[in-house]
A and B are shown apart, each in its own frame.
Chain A
């Protein structure tokens, strides 16, 4: 079955630390890839997305993600986190022409000031 794995369930960082959140998926064909962010008490918002082209995509608020096809991965990175990045981060994959997104379980990030 198609699945998305997020390796880190809870991450605690200090401000200015670098961030990398792992995301792997199981599907061999063409995929669309997404990272969503959910700030405390809010709904999910798109952080960035990959459809095709340059495998390094840049999103809002200084986030970026790299699609590595050979590793079935789409890891999220940020060089220097801020307290305001405290949120839950979800990786999602749309495999082929599937009508449904496949979601990871999410990673809770806490940034200490």
Chain B
């Protein structure tokens, strides 16, 4: 039962570098989300997708990009890393029907120095 898998678990980036956070789910869920979590700030939605080929911005999309070429994968791209992007990133998925909860990945702790 893999569920939602995120890689890597930890990463240190230098300012201006780029990277992709990987997220894959094996539950055939239509909806997928990327959140960032900062101390005392709760979860902020970065981007979400309601199906392959469809993505939309959340509350804090600046500095990030996503794609959804398959149902399973929803990578998050940071093009020019900035210290403000130091955070813990969580990917989540839901089937997309009502009355279901979100399933979360283990998180990626990113530090930009």
Interface residues of A (CB under 8 A from B): 9, 32, 34, 42-46, 49, 51-52, 90, 92, 94, 97, 99-101, 103-106
Contacts and interface: CB of A to CB of B under 8 A. Distances in A.
Interface of B: 31, 33, 40-43, 45, 48, 50, 58, 90, 92, 96, 98-99, 101-102, 104-107
Nearest to B107: A43
Contacts, number: 45
Contacts of B50: 99
B106 A42 contact: yes
A104 B43 CA distance: 8
14 contacts: A34-B101, A43-B104, A43-B107, A44-B43, A44-B90, A45-B104, A51-B98, A51-B99, A52-B99, A90-B42, A94-B98, A99-B96, A100-B33, A105-B41
A99 B31 contact: yes
B48 A100 contact: yes
A100 B104 contact: no
